[in-house]
Structure 1
Amino acid sequence: MRILTRYILREVLSHGLLGGVLFTFVLFMKELGPLLELAVRNSTSTSTVTEIFLLMLPNMCTVTIPMAVLVGTLLGLSRLAADSEITAMRASGVGVWRFVGIVGVVAAVAWGIGLVNTLYLAPKASAQMLKLEDELKNTQATYEIQPRVFYEDLKNVVLYVEDVRAGTGAARWRQVFLADLTDPVSPKVTTAEEATVASTDNQTLVMRLRNGMQHQTASDQPDQYNVSTFAQTDLPLEATSAPEPHLGHSDAPVLAMSNHELIERTQQQGGRWYQIELQRRYAYPSACLVLILVGVPLGISSKRGGKGAGFVLTIVLVFVYYFLSSTGVALARQNKLPVFAGVWMANLLFGISGIFFLRQMSTGGAALAAVTSVGSWFRWKKSSPSAGTVAPSERTVSKRHVRGSFPLILDEYVIRQFLSVLALVLTAFVMLMLVFTFFELLGDIIRNQTPFIIVGEYLFNLMPSMIYITTPLSVLIAVLVVFGGLNRTNELTAMKATGVSLYRIIVPILVIASVLSLSLFLFDEVYLPAANRKQEALHNVIKGRPAQTYLRPDRKWMFGLQQPGKPGRIFYYEFFDSDNDRFANITVFEFDPTTFSLSRRIFAAGAHWDPQIHRWIFEHGWERSFQGDSVTDFKTFEVDTFPEIIELPQYFKKETRPSQEMSFNELQQYIRDLRQSGLDTMRLRVQLNRKLAYPLITLVMSVLAIPFALSMGKRGSLAGIGIAIGMAIAYMFVDGMFEAMGNVNMLPAFLAAWSPDVLFGLAGSYLLLRTPT
């Protein structure tokens, strides 16, 4: 009996650990990109990045530990049931409650670990995370200034730099334009040929400007103007309050409180929220104990569906449990349910259901059979080359089955297995991500009383982007599982014995991966942008936000059209009516492109576009021309036009659109327009290259997975999935790091997007070439 107990425990533990890692990985996917960019922007050390990652784990484990217990119970027992081992055990006298007792050991250990995590580790991790956020906020001034971009994150100052050169401890800038907006109507302008910049403290930069000029006027005295030159001057710049990095949960201050603090706060005004948090710290770990009451009878009874049934039931039960839990907590916060009833509602209902199902197993009730039959709909029927391909080969004998042609019967067999596993894995990832997304939004859904038809439409439109994101990882797992299975059952050896090379065997996988890569690119071109726009609009509805507009008439600084041999222009305005094409308090700075010194300055209280003469009509303003530090001409006007200003109204109506809501050509044109206006395009250029690079990673992952699959020997598919998750984490870290470095201008956009493909492609090709064929 001890051998049997260890055998069941090993099966449950192996599936549970793998499920816990998988769930944690899915939760961490969305956090990795912002974390790496924050680390790169603030020059954070590797140890700090590792610390942030470890501090995120306890709050994630609060959710994933009960889920791991459930998936271990369901998949472990489903596997035993599918191989008729459960039947043999029960025939030898092992009762249902014996299984509950054995799995209860795992649940009790998980419950203890969960309690330690929620009561001690998670609050301390949240407190440390808040501390790190404060430290990172104080280093925002060390951000890289990007060239040819208007930088507005400095207090009362707008900065434009034509060229940036990094240095040790300081940076060198060339052709600097600085506008002091203490008086927004008449900004004080400083230009310089070059500057040396260093960070003194947390929020201050010091610029040493050389060979420059300062222009200053008063808004109420336009006839007075002061121009001064300098060979060298120091100018401190103070950063504005930086936005919080948001590394932690939105309720981080509450999560960071100790149990003693929560107990004290429950006695004060508004103590209901603290009481809910205190109860949650006990309720979530206790879910480990009640979930096995449901998992054991369902796992034992899912013989027909096997692991497929166990997986489907896991997703359904996870969704139901956290839906009930989130709903109960939301109702408790709104004072519609007592705190205990709201927080513990999911545990109580699952405990009652588990006892009911256990009783059904003893009495042979129909309810349990009806639930477990759901999983059999998703059963994956594994084909064999002898049974599944005989009929087609008898029906059709054609030249395509001659050696060297494609596809052979063997190719069809490999393709069929690969596509079956790929569909199952891709469905698994999409369903998991949809479930977690629903949990995150449930509080907003209840608070804003969002109709579930809108929620369903949002999740439906969110699904395409999830498919796009998870397809490369799904291909990686599918290749590992399929080739690992062929190697384990000696089918690969049989293929090689007939004279078929390994390189010929993998051709169908590479062909399908190439087709998927091209399909992902076309999917992103044709369908995904529209779906992303729709889901973003629905997301705003769920969040209770007003309808979002992408038009940005509030942009106050824009670079004019650049013409060879002609002066450059910078436009500054306080307001732009995009409907009527009218400016208020507009200033045009015209400068020499070689020295970057101002050659002319135009100010007008208003300006509007005249479609009859196709020119801007400036009203109530003045014009000054400069030669060095002297004013060569000055005049005022009531109405005037300047034919050399050729920018049309559409030029000032730039749209702010996320890259995922544009096709490749649309994004390329959008970047061209924004760069012409002196706006930040580095992120967009990285994303433009990623639109080509990311689909190709599907092919790279298939090449990388094959040698790993063959090196697993006789180990099962769980080992393949474990290796796949490890490789996926490595890829996501490398990809996120390169993308973050590109976003902050530490790498060219092309290298930032394509480096992960090149690195992992070279590694996969090297390992594949070293694999015996």
Structure 2
Amino acid sequence: MKILDWYILKRYLITFLMMLLLFVPIGITVDLAEKVGRMIENEASLGEVAFYYINFTVYFANLLFPLFLFLSVIWFTSKLANNTEIVAFLSSGTSFSRFLRPYMIGATIVAGFAMFLGMYLAPIASQGFNEFKFKYLKKNKNVQQTRDVYQQINDNDYIYVSNFITRNKTGHKFTYEHFEGNELKYKIFADNIRYIEEDSMYRLTSYLKRSFENGIETVEQENRKLMDLPFELEDLTPVQYAAETKSYGELLKFIAAEKRRGSPNIGRYEVVKLKKWSLPVSIFILTIIAVAVSSIKRRGGMGVNLALGISIAMIYVFFDKVFGVMAEQSNFPAVIAVWFPNVLFGILAVYLLQKAKR
């Protein structure tokens, strides 16, 4: 590797690390200022708070990796342009593609780390981050409610509850179906279902059971009935951030199991899975855009390049969030939602790169 490559690569990596070291403490300070009252009110220990902010750093660094990198590349490339160093490089006979090579090497290093972070470290941090937030920071942490939960418990059993409130472990409009093959053997209805912790059983109110055997239907009905049902309390309260807490291998198995069970959160889980691949790719795309935008010396100096870069970054975030929410909340294909911003900005990167070469 020549001196030029080392010079640019060193600046690429150092500026990126400096950007992280600059913004992470600011993010922690702002978050602490906003939430310290609730932490004190809910008696969070100093050790738990410290561990929360370690997880906070990893969690948000993983989410904002491409944007930090994008701004850092614009920053140091604009300095190169203002100091006329890029003109000197290109005047020596170096092509723009050759000038771009150390940027791509740096992007490969950062993308590899981002992939490792997203697949293995970020899930651990997400678990601790979300558990602390739910335990100490939620205003109504004891009133978490899930709606329209439909789950396949195993090959033969299905459950449905219109809503479930964690505070009193009570659900409404409960249905339990048991099949053998394609034949429905019995179906249980209840206006309410409540988990009795001391008995590890469920109490059903307005209980009704319809059984089917050899074409004959029998009906059993009681005002209240205590039952040992073959599912866990967590099946009635699916955690929406569950996918974020699993490594990639665990996530694939988790999604397959949730699809069999008919989980309503499949869109969200698919978005989490696909972003583990799309985020490293976005690092290359945003690096090319940043170099193409900031390698030109402008009359307004570095400020113009930074303003243009921040505008592009905000548009990227807008598309990423909007399409992500669409996939999570509807039947919009997750693969399109996750990859559309990269495809769109990939086209923009090719256009700006060709323009910069000319």
Match of 2:49 in 1: 455
- Superposed, 1:88-107 pairs within 5 Å as none
| Deviating more after overlay: 418-427 vs 710-719 | 710-719
Distance 1:591 1:764 in 2: 56
Alignment match of 1:559 (pick from 146, 149, 152): 152
Match of 1:710 in 2: 295
Q: Is the 8 A contact 2:157 2:177 kept in 1?
A: yes
SS of 1:770's equivalent in the other structure is helix
Distance 2:324 2:154 in 1: 30
Q: 1:511 to 1:588 in 2, by over 3 A?
A: same
SS of 1:623's equivalent in the other structure is strand
Q: Is the 8 A contact 1:571 1:589 kept in 2?
A: no
Which residue identity does 1:735 align to in structure 2?
D
Q: Is the 8 A contact 2:154 2:261 kept in 1?
A: yes
Shift of 1:555: 8.9
Which residue identity does 2:108 align to in structure 1?
S
Match of 1:735 in 2: 320
The Cα offsets for residues 574-622 of structure 1, whole Å up to 9 and x where unpaired, read as 99xxxxxxxxx974265997xxxx86544599xxxxxxxxxxxxxx965
Alignment match of 1:673 (pick from 245, 257, 260): 257
* Structure 2: runs of 5 or more not aligned: 165-173, 191-207, 221-228
Match of 2:204 in 1: none
Q: Is the 8 A contact 2:58 2:125 kept in 1?
A: yes
Which residue identity does 2:177 align to in structure 1?
V
Alignment match of 2:118 (pick from 513, 524, 534): 524
Q: 1:758 to 1:604 in 2, by over 3 A?
A: closer
The Cα offsets for residues 30-70 of structure 1, whole Å up to 9 and x where unpaired, read as xxxxxxxxxxxxxxxxxxxxxxxxxxxxxxxxxxxxxxxxx
* Structure 1: runs of 5 or more not aligned: 1-406, 563-567, 576-584, 606-619, 627-631, 638-647
Match of 1:660 in 2: 244
Match of 2:333 in 1: 748
Match of 2:89 in 1: 495
Alignment match of 2:12 (pick from 409, 415, 418): 418
Alignment coverage as a number of residue pairs: 317
Shift of 1:559: 3.2
Instruction: Indicate whether 1:623 and 2:236 are aligned.
Output: no
Distance 1:755 1:660 in 2: 21
Shift of 1:535: 2.6
Alignment match of 1:633 (pick from 209, 216, 235): 216
Match of 2:205 in 1: none
Q: CA RMSD in A?
A: 3.6
Which residue identity does 1:559 align to in structure 2?
Q
Shift of 1:742: 1.4
Q: Is the 8 A contact 2:157 2:176 kept in 1?
A: no
Which residue identity does 1:723 align to in structure 2?
L
Which residue identity does 1:664 align to in structure 2?
Y
Distance 1:525 1:436 in 2: 27
Shift of 1:718: 2.8
Distance 2:184 2:69 in 1: 60
Instruction: Indicate whether 1:470 and 2:58 are aligned.
Output: no
* Identical positions, percent: 20
Distance 2:42 2:233 in 1: 36
SS of 1:503's equivalent in the other structure is helix
Shift of 1:454: 3.1
Match of 1:617 in 2: none
Alignment match of 1:698 (pick from 274, 283, 305): 283
Q: Given the two structures, how large is their TM-score scaled by the length of structure 1?
A: 0.37
The Cα offsets for residues 155-195 of structure 1, whole Å up to 9 and x where unpaired, read as xxxxxxxxxxxxxxxxxxxxxxxxxxxxxxxxxxxxxxxxx
Distance 1:621 1:739 in 2: 41
Instruction: Indicate whether 1:721 and 2:284 are aligned.
Output: no
Q: 1:693 to 1:452 in 2, by over 3 A?
A: same
Match of 1:65 in 2: none
Instruction: Indicate whether 1:445 and 2:39 are aligned.
Output: yes
Which residue identity does 1:623 align to in structure 2?
S
The Cα offsets for residues 334-380 of structure 1, whole Å up to 9 and x where unpaired, read as xxxxxxxxxxxxxxxxxxxxxxxxxxxxxxxxxxxxxxxxxxxxxxx
Q: 1:590 to 1:451 in 2, by over 3 A?
A: closer
Distance 2:325 2:111 in 1: 24
Shift of 1:659: 2.4
Match of 2:177 in 1: 588
Which residue identity does 1:624 align to in structure 2?
F
Q: 1:560 to 1:444 in 2, by over 3 A?
A: closer
Distance 1:759 1:706 in 2: 17
Which residue identity does 2:216 align to in structure 1?
D
Shift of 1:702: 0.2
SS of 2:357's equivalent in the other structure is coil
Q: 1:546 to 1:662 in 2, by over 3 A?
A: farther
Higher relative CO (Cα under 8 Å, sequence separation at least 6) belongs to 2
Match of 2:269 in 1: 684
Instruction: Indicate whether 1:769 and 2:354 are aligned.
Output: yes
Shift of 1:573: 8.2
Distance 1:662 1:625 in 2: 43
Match of 2:2 in 1: 408
Shift of 1:663: 1.7
Q: Is the 8 A contact 1:473 1:728 kept in 2?
A: yes
Q: 1:690 to 1:421 in 2, by over 3 A?
A: same
Shift of 1:738: 1.3
Instruction: Indicate whether 1:539 and 2:133 are aligned.
Output: yes
Q: Is the 8 A contact 1:704 1:764 kept in 2?
A: yes
Match of 1:514 in 2: 108
Bigger radius of gyration: 1
Distance 1:555 1:544 in 2: 22
SS of 2:263's equivalent in the other structure is coil
Which residue identity does 1:516 align to in structure 2?
V
Which residue identity does 1:727 align to in structure 2?
I
- Superposed, 1:112-123 pairs within 5 Å as none
Distance 1:558 1:540 in 2: 24
Distance 2:87 2:161 in 1: 74
SS of 1:624's equivalent in the other structure is strand
